[in-house]
Every structure is written in C-alpha cells, then in structure tokens.
Amino acid sequence: MPTWVQVVYLLCAIGFILALKGLSGPRTARRGNLVGAAAAVVGCVLPFIYVDHLDHVPLMIGAIAVGTAGGVFGARKVQMTQMPQMVALFNGVGGGAAALVALLELNHMLEVQDALDALGADVDAYGWFVYAATAFTIFVGSVSFAGSLITFAKLQELMTSRPVVFAGLPVAFGLMLLGGVGLSVLTVTDAAIGIGIALCLVGLVFGVLLVLPVGGADVPIVISLLNAFTGLTVAAGGYVLSNTLLLVGGTLVGASGTFLTLLMARAMGRSVGNIMFGALKGGSTLGGGEASDRPVKSAGPEDVAILLGYADRVIIVPGYGLAVAQAQHTLRELVDVLGERGTKVDYAIHPVAGRMPGHMNVLLAEAQVPYEQLVEMDEINGEFKNTDVVLVVGANDVVNPAAKTTPGAPIYGMPILNADEAKQIVFMKRSMRPGFAGIENELLFDPKTTLLFGDAKESLGKLLNSIKSL
Amino acid sequence: MNEGVVWLTIFILSVFVGIEVISKVSSTLHTPLMSGANAIHGIILLGAILVTGATDSTLALVVGLVAIVLATVNMVGGFVVTDRMLQMFTRKKPAPKNEGAR
C-alpha cells in the first residue's frame, strides 16, 4: 500500500472522529454528519485508484449503484415515526456485509495456505489471531444482521412487540452460544470454509434468540447495542484485512455505540443486562397488556376546551400516539392559539418519548415547534405542581406513577414526568389500551383526570375550534 | 516493533477517542448520533470492495457483490437518513402557519 494512501486513510479516520464529535452537539450535528459522509466516500474510492489488480470493477460499481439507489430511496421515503426501525435495518445490512466480507476473506486465507502447503513450505501464512478475528466478524456480524431484522419486525409491527419466550429458550440460547464459541475455536485450529458457513448460520439463529425475548419498549436499546456490535465486527474485519480505516472507524462506532447504549439505558432507568436477559430469567419485561374496565371520567372536546382556554399554565406531554396520528401540526396550532390567549404553554419531553431517545424532538421539530418550547424532563418536573392543566397526547408510560410506586412493574425505576402533581390532567387517548410497556396507568383513574377519547388529530382539531370560539 | 501490538495500540486509542468525543451528548441528539454512527460503520464497504476485487470464483464474486450492495445501503442510507433528521433541528424560525403543503 503506497504511503500516500495510508495518509489519506488517516485523514478519513480523523474525519470520522470529527463527525462523531460534531454529531454530539446540536449546532454542529449536520456538518458533522456531512464530514463523516465525505470521509466514507473518499475511503471507498481509494481502492479503485491504488489497488493494482482490482477485478470486476464494472460489476462492483453496478452493485454500489444498486445499493446507493436502495439506501437513498429508503432513507428519503421513511416517515419520521419509523426512523428507529430504519436505523435498525441499515445497521443489520451493515452487519451482514461484514460477515460476508469475513467469509470471503477466510476463503482467500485458506487458498493462500493451500498454495503454500502445495509448495511444501511448512509455514503459516496467517497467525492464529487473524483466524480468531475472522471468526469473530463472521459470528457477531451474523448476530447483528438477524437481530436487527427481528427488531425491525417488532417495531414495524410485522410481529408482536411483546417478549417472545418459549420453554426451551434459555437452553437453545446457551447451546447456540456454545456452538458459536466452539466453531470459532475450530476456525482457529482447523479452519475450513464449511466451518465458517456453519458459524454464520449459528450466528443468525443466535441473533434471533437474542432479540425475541426483549419487550417492545426496550427494543431501541437493543438497536443501539447491535449498532455497537456491528462497529466491533467492522473493526475486527479491518484487522483481518490490515486496513487502518476499517479498524479505526469500526472501533469508534463500537466504543461510542456501547457508551451510548449505557446512556440510553440510564435514561430509561434500566440496566442493559436486565433488558437483554430479564425475560430469559423468567420475569417478563412486559405487563399483561389487558385493557381495564374500571370507571373513568371522560369528557367532550368542548369541556376540555374550557379547561385549557382559561388556564394560565399548560404543559403538553406528547407521546408516540401523537406521531402515529400525524397530529403534531394540529397540536402546534392549538398551542399557538393558547399562546395568543395569554396561556403559557410548554412541551415536556421525556428522554424516551416516542420510540427512542430524542425521537420526539425530531418529530416535533418536523412540525416546526420552536426549540425553546421543548423542555427536558429534569427542567420541567418541578413546574408541574404550579400547572393548571397537563395535556397528555398519545403518551402513557412516561407519566405512569407505577414507575415510582410499584416495585414489580416493568417500568419501575424509570424517571417519569410528574404529571400527577398538576391540578388537572387531560389524557387524549384512542382507547383504554395500555401503553407500550403493557401496564395499566393509575393516573387514568385519578379524580383529577379527564379523558378525551378519539383519534388525536381529530380530537385536537375539534379542541382547536372550540377554543377559538370561546 | 511487534506489528500486532501496533494494531492493538490503534484499537485501544480508538476506544478512548470514541467514548470521549460523544461523552457530552444531550439526550435530544441520541437518535441522530446513533444513526450517524451507524452510517460510519458502513465503511465496511471499503472492505467489501477490497475482498470482491480479489475474487476468482463466480460464487465468491456473487457473495462479494451482495456484500457491496448491503454495505452501500448501510453507508449511503445511513448518512442520508441522519441528514434528514438533522435538517429538522437546524431550522431556527417557526415556519408560517399555512402548512398545507405537507
């Protein structure tokens, strides 16, 4: 490899570092992403320039064109509400690519070794650690691929988002893990392409088993974890291929991804171990999911309009239901009207509102809600007791007092918005069905609580008209 | 100098850099950051190109081309979707009220 190429790889690696740095600040985030994209493109163009005997160039460019078209199409078409599963899908195909690359490289390594053996040379072309890294990439890449597809299916509701646990699961889980480790050892001692393929298949099954028992609300954490996994496989692939850019890029993602996973889990008040293996140990990570028939107080839009119209201080708690109903624009209009009437209105953003951390900010930003009105949980939690009305739109778990009061509840320990301290609470819901965590919300039955049933967008529209005519 | 140790050095230093650069991220940016990091590991495309360009059997070539397609989807899709998310953060002023164009 010419020196100038190594230098350019180094520059690309620096680009990745600057990209991550930029992405962690709101003002620099977009530029950071573009820097990362530029570095990645430069890195991928390089082999076409410096590698002497690169075969199949037209076919490879064709494949890149197909992938680009697919990626751009998916990325442009996806709705903001479906963002988490899109990230999962992109992550999965990356892991799959890494596993395939490692399989091909294993094949190549075996060919080189065979050629050496045929010459009668008693040397090992590759050290044992190269074989170990190859096995790691094949196995973990397959785990990431299969696991990500299952998370995609769960979030897209192609399958149940409840944890799937069956009797033999812990045993099957253990067997697959043992199989993966055993086949990895075999790859080091007696490498053969058949072992590599078997390792790939075991990895796929293990990936499925890993994600099946995880409850819907915890899936975003798993996406983040699998993202870190893929980063590490790319790093190991970089070592196998002796490519510094792959090693640095993959390691950066592996390290920052692992750290980000821990941050997210902390924001949800959960431990990563509990999320991944809680269901395996027997305790379900989800509640019953049953709707209750206990009496509640419900009202029409006109009544709620009066509550809101004459309040001095209103806090809005938006949730995923708001996004599903595509009601964020109507909500913003409602807030504008209330503001004109002199009511002080803010949005209280729970860290995991929506489907994953920061998701709600993206959704509300899409509806052009001014950034200053979005207040994070820690800042706004003290203000609920001075609030006249809390309007909960399509949220449930993030205001469920069970997180503070019921030690056995799946969400116990998760920091919540103190909506229960407000003078009045209005829930806009489609039905009495529980939230994503599948547990009942005591707050719904509180005497201070009023329910407004119906589709969020329709109800908000009626509410808006009623307030305008007050 | 032992070459393995050089690789190990790069790896360890990258771990620390990776953690350090994102340690101050606010929770509002978790989703875009995850998505951006996801796009960065699409650099496996580089590996796929190197490996596929050296294949000599048809089967290996097909596997390599599949890897290239998958890696490209990861990389290109990842950066584009992250940019779409971040576009929404950068808009400063509340937009005009008529939003019928959605």
Amino acid present at B23: S
Confidence at A281, pLDDT banded by 50, 70, 90: low
Q: Is residue A110 part of a domain?
A: yes
* Interfacial A residues in 307-346 facing B (CB < 8 Å): 329, 333, 336
What does the mean pLDDT of chain B come to? Answer: 86
A305 shares its domain with A259: no
Look up the domain containing A413 and give its range.
301-468
| Least confident interval from A213-217, A272-276, A289-293, A350-354 | A289-293
User: A257 vs B37: CB contact, 8 Å cut-off?
Assistant: yes
Tokens 């599948």: give the residue.
Answer: A438
* Residue A277 and residue A157 share a domain: yes
Whole-angstrom Cα distance, residue A304 to residue A233?
Answer: 54
pLDDT at A426: 92
Q: Domain with A381 in it: what CATH number?
A: 3.40.50.1220
* Chain B hits for A75, Cβ within 8 Å: 76-78, 80-81, 84
Chain A CB within 8 Å of residue B99 CB: yes
Give residue-wise pLDDT tens across range A344-379. 999 998 877 777 777 888 888 878 888 788 888 888
B21 closest CB neighbour out of A20, A59, A263: A20
Residue A140: both structure tokens together:
């973990």
Answer whether residue B48 is part of any domain: yes
Q: What is the pLDDT of residue A161?
A: 76
For residue A404, is pLDDT > 80? Answer: yes
Task: Provide the domain count of chain B.
Answer: 1
Return the pLDDT at A285: 46
CA A107 to chain centre: 34
B43/A218 Cα distance (integer angstroms): 28
d(CA B39, CA A74): 14
CA distance A397 to A400: 5
For residues A205-234, give the mean pLDDT. 91
Q: Is B93 within a domain?
A: no
User: Looking at the structure, do residues A255 and A313 belong to the same domain, yes or no?
Assistant: no
- Name the residue range of residue B39's domain: 30-88
Comparing B21 with A324, which gets the higher pLDDT? B21
Say which of A388, A397, A420, A455 is annotated catalytic. Answer: A397
CA–CA separation, A229 and B37 (whole Å)? 12
Query: Does residue A287 have a pLDDT over 60?
Result: no
Mean pLDDT comparison of A241-245, A403-407, A437-441, highest-scoring range = A241-245
Domain check: are A112 and A241 in the same one? yes
- Give the closest residue to A248 by CA, choosing from B17, B48, B26, B77: B17
Q: Is residue A182 over pLDDT 80?
A: yes
Paired tokens of A302: 């006109």
Nearest Cα of chain A lies from the Cα of B58 at a distance, in angstroms, of: 11
- Measured between beta carbons, the chain B residues lying within 8 angstroms of A251 are 10-11, 14-15, 18
pLDDT (mean) for A164-191: 92
Residues A377 and A445 in one domain: yes
Radius of gyration of chain B (CA): 20
Establish if A129 belongs to a structural domain: yes
Q: Is residue A219 part of a domain?
A: yes
* Residue A433 domain flag: yes
Which pLDDT score, from 0 to 100, does residue B68 have?
A: 97
Burial class (CB in 10 A: 0-12, 13-18, 19+), A190: exposed
Residues A232-245, mean pLDDT to the nearest whole number = 96
pLDDT at A16: 97
**What tens digit of pLDDT does each residue of A34-64 get?**
999 999 999 999 999 999 889 999 999 999 9
Please name the member of B47, B75, B77 whose beta carbon is closest to the beta carbon of A40: B75
Task: Report the mean per-residue pLDDT for chain A.
Answer: 88
Residue A246 lies in a domain: yes
pLDDT recorded at residue B48: 97
Looking at the structure, do residues A141 and A243 belong to the same domain, yes or no? Answer: yes
- What is the pLDDT at residue A270? 72
Band (pLDDT 50/70/90 cuts) for residue B100 is very low
Residue B53 has pLDDT above 50, yes or no: yes
Question: Would you state the structure tokens that stand for residue B2, as one six-digit string?
Answer: 């032992």
- Residue B13 maps to a domain: no
Last residue of a domain, one of A225, A250, A281: A281
- Quote the number of domains for chain A: 2
pLDDT for B101 equals: 41
Q: Are A242 and A126 part of one and the same domain?
A: yes
Q: Is the same domain home to A88 and A149?
A: yes
Q: Pick from A249, A281, A313: which residue ends a domain?
A: A281
**Touching check for A201 and chain B: CB below 8 Å?**
no
* Nearest residue, CB atoms, A101 vs list B42, B44, B90: B44
pLDDT tens per residue, range A449-461: 999 888 888 889 9
Give the minimum alpha-carbon distance from A275 to chain B in angstroms, rounded to a whole number: 18
**Of A5-9, A11-15, A272-276, B35-39, which range is least confident?**
A272-276
Structural domain contains residue B55: yes
Q: Is the pTM of this model over 0.80?
A: yes
Report chain A's terminal Cα–Cα distance, integer Å.
75
Higher-scoring residue by pLDDT: A374, A133: A133
| A10: in domain | no
Same domain, A265 and A306: no
Q: Does the residue B68 lie in any domain? A: yes
Strands (E), A299-433: 313-318, 344-349, 374-376, 389-393, 424-429
Instruction: Tell me if chain B has a CB within 8 Å of the CB of A396.
Output: no
Last residue of a domain, one of A247, A281, A315: A281
- Contact: B43, A250; criterion CB under 8 Å: yes
Query: To the nearest whole percent, how much of chain A has pLDDT over 90?
Result: 52
Check if A397 is active-site. Answer: yes
Residue A288 lies in a domain: no
For residue A153, being part of any structural domain is answered with yes
Asked if the Cβ–Cβ distance from A356 to B81 is below 8 Å, we say no
* Strand order across the beta sheet in which A424-429 lies: A374-376, A344-349, A313-318, A389-393, A424-429, A449-453
